[in-house]
Chain A
Amino acid sequence: MMDAIMTDGLSFAMPLLIMAIGGIYSERAGVVMLAIEGLQGFGAFVGAAAAVISGIYLGTESPLLIFIAMAAAMAGGAAFSSIHALLCVKFRAQQVISGMVVNTLAMALSPFLTSVINRAITGNESNKFQIGPSVRFTVPGLSEIPLVGGLFKSMYPFEIVIIAAALISCYVLYKTRYGLRLRACGENPHSLDAAGGDVNRTRTIAVLICGALSGLGGVFLAYSISATYSPNIYVGYGYLSIAAMIFGNWKIPPTACVCMFFGLARSAGYQLCLYLGMPGSYSDLLLTLPYALTLLLLVFFSKRNNPPRAMGETFDRSRR
């Protein structure tokens, strides 16, 4: 049972984490990011479409497909996030509004395009893509550790990519010149401007990175939940990752802990239900656990939250 909790918990926590890290890039650069829900869904759509289309040529069993899906999802998410970047940075739109524009646009476009593509390929108008199950692997040795060994059993290739991305992001945000500039953009963009940096460029890049990472999270969700892509991808996990980011105080390590907490609480709820032999409907009650606990924990920890100071403000050089 412990193994199942760990394996399932990790596969739910990792997509949340990568989306939350995307959000951290954007919000630490001062651009409010409510668009994660739309970005992950659209990224998943592009990834799934790429997998289905290349499956025609490579065969549906090809192990390459998942990597094609990953790359396509990142490209799709980044491309779609350019709308948010354009609206917020260039067109001076309100960032909350722009985020919702991106969400509604993604939720409208992706099912529409899915049915158009399906009509072109198979002739029937389904709004689903069958993308097949993902490759999974077990790390020898590490998976034998009692209690936490389950974390290393039947892992998705995504998980390795996401952990790598998280570590690289820690380095980029805190140890590089770009990271320093990005954080300056979120706290006091005028100081960056005075130092000769380009605020709008830094912000645009941050939003595009967020789009790419959200797309990766989205396609992982599509693979791990059902091995299909359908409009059901929009169940609000993007919003949940925003909650994790805020709970994690816009920092990567605490956010990673929050995501693991969400993942483990969720899978533990399922397993507890199975263990106690309760009827399926009771699992719904246990599924509220992560959310109720989050609220409870926030009551104690939220006082010390400090969001990036310049978040939500359009950069205007003439206003100092």
Chain B
Amino acid sequence: MSGSARRGGLPGASTAWTRFLEVMSGDKTSHIAIPLFSVALSMVAASLLLLALGENPLVAMAAFLRGSGFMVKPSYAGGQSALTDFLSFLGILAPMLLAALSVAAALRAGMFNIGVAGQMLAAGYVATILAGYADMAPALARPLVVLLGLSVGATMGAAVGFLKYRFNIHEVVSTIMFNYITSYVTGFLINTHYSDAITRSSRVCSRAARLTVTGIDVGGLRLTFPIGILIALAAAAIMKFVLDRTTVGFELKAVGLNRDAARYAGISVGRVTVFAMSVSGALAGLAGVTYYLGYYNNIMPKTLASLGFDAIAVALLGNLNPVGSIFSSILVTIFQKGSVYMSSTLGAPQEVASVITSVMLLFSACGACVRFHAARMLEKLAGRGGSDEGGGG
């Protein structure tokens, strides 16, 4: 580090380096520059990992993109194309984004919702048995599914918030307990009432209730469009508006930054706690219905979606910001969705994808430290520059 600063004697290098440090530590730029920097660093680390496995990093990255429908594969099965891959990518992106927003909503209020997976499962289960197995027209069934997802998730979230503020039960404990309870109870009910004899998961929900538009005909391809992605993007936009422009959003952030200061300022911390957790739960519920009635269409009993835990990483990578979450969920989903194709064409283990994701998270966790050091180096550089000029004069 000091070596680079000393090389700053050359005028060109000096300005470029100073400029870089300014961008990294500046108030306006750092919240974009730091995540980009950590993603760039993790791409370097990922390339080294792939090289160590004997793969060409560029070929592997292209395979990830091909698997997610961002690039065209060399060959396709009948009725398949890059567009079908991309729509399938959007289908799993939707729950990922919604779950990340759910984590972010709670964390902005200073609470750690580790129960996203349980809330997803509860919402998906209720929506499946009430709407998915009923004989209803799509125009009725789909809004009902969304509504059920919202309300079941919000109820579970509100319960967690209530237990926290009324009985001082830590949200990490209660959400973990709810995760287990939901997983066992729905598993029991599915195994005894709704089990499919062959797949051992729940029976597939009706076509009318799925949050997808099927049978769109484009150039001989029959496409399935996931409605979930529209819900997810709308949720991100609404959340951004609420956090940035409304009183509730301000109160929520205030409670997250300092509960005592917020109480002193006259904010009802209990009310905000319950509100934030129910919003978080509602978003998790939406993630659940787009996951279980859109992407998979059935429920594996006694299994919590790992997506609910991955979403924590995605939300943190996106700086707990709705717009940031969109980008981070796209990035992480490319690796996860593309890993199957990458593994099948290159033969590298599929787990590489999650290693890359976690390395990205590792570097982004160091963001505050990078910014701190950039600012300090800039100060030192400014100090040295000043003394040099003084000496010259």
Contacts and interface: CB of A to CB of B under 8 A. Distances in A.
B39 to A, nearest CB: 15
Nearest to A38: B358
Interface of A is mostly: helix
Given A108-B351, A284-B302, A294-B177, A243 B169 contact: no
B312 A100 contact: yes
Contact of B163 (A93, A239, A291, A299): A299
A112 B348 CA distance: 10
A302 interface: yes
Given A239-B176, A281-B191, A302 B169 contact: yes
A7 to B, nearest CB: 23
Contact of B179 (A94, A236, A302): A236
B172 A242 contact: yes
Given A240-B176, A294-B177, A116 B185 contact: no
Interface of B is mostly: helix
A260 interface: no
B349 A295 contact: no
B364 to A, nearest CB: 9
B352 interface: yes
Contacts of A125: 349
Given A104-B309, A107-B354, 16 more contacts: A87-B365, A100-B313, A103-B309, A104-B312, A104-B361, A108-B351, A112-B352, A112-B355, A236-B176, A243-B177, A284-B187, A288-B181, A292-B177, A294-B177, A303-B168, A305-B168
Given A108-B358, A288-B184, A295 B366 contact: no
B170 interface: yes
B351 A115 contact: yes
Interface in B326-342: none
Q: Which of A92, A298, A299 has the most CB of B within 10 A?
A: A298
B172 A302 contact: no
Contacts of B172: 34, 239, 242-243, 246
Given A101-B358, A105-B358, A299-B163, A287 B170 contact: no
Interface in A253-276: none
A87 B364 CA distance: 11
Given A97-B316, A104-B313, A246 B170 contact: yes
B349 A281 contact: no
A100 B361 contact: yes
A109 interface: yes
B358 A295 contact: no
Contacts of B174: 295, 298
A112 B167 contact: no
Contact of A112 (B169, B187, B310, B351): B351
30 contacts: A34-B112, A94-B368, A96-B107, A97-B365, A101-B313, A101-B365, A103-B309, A104-B309, A104-B313, A104-B357, A104-B358, A105-B358, A105-B361, A108-B351, A108-B357, A108-B358, A109-B355, A112-B355, A115-B351, A242-B176, A246-B170, A246-B173, A284-B187, A285-B188, A288-B180, A291-B180, A292-B177, A292-B181, A298-B173, A303-B167
A174 interface: no
Contact of B173 (A98, A242, A292): A242
A247 interface: yes
A282 interface: yes
A107 B336 CA distance: 14
A57 interface: no
Given A91-B366, A101-B361, A288-B180, A302 B167 contact: yes
Nearest to B49: A112
B188 A282 contact: yes
A281 B173 contact: no
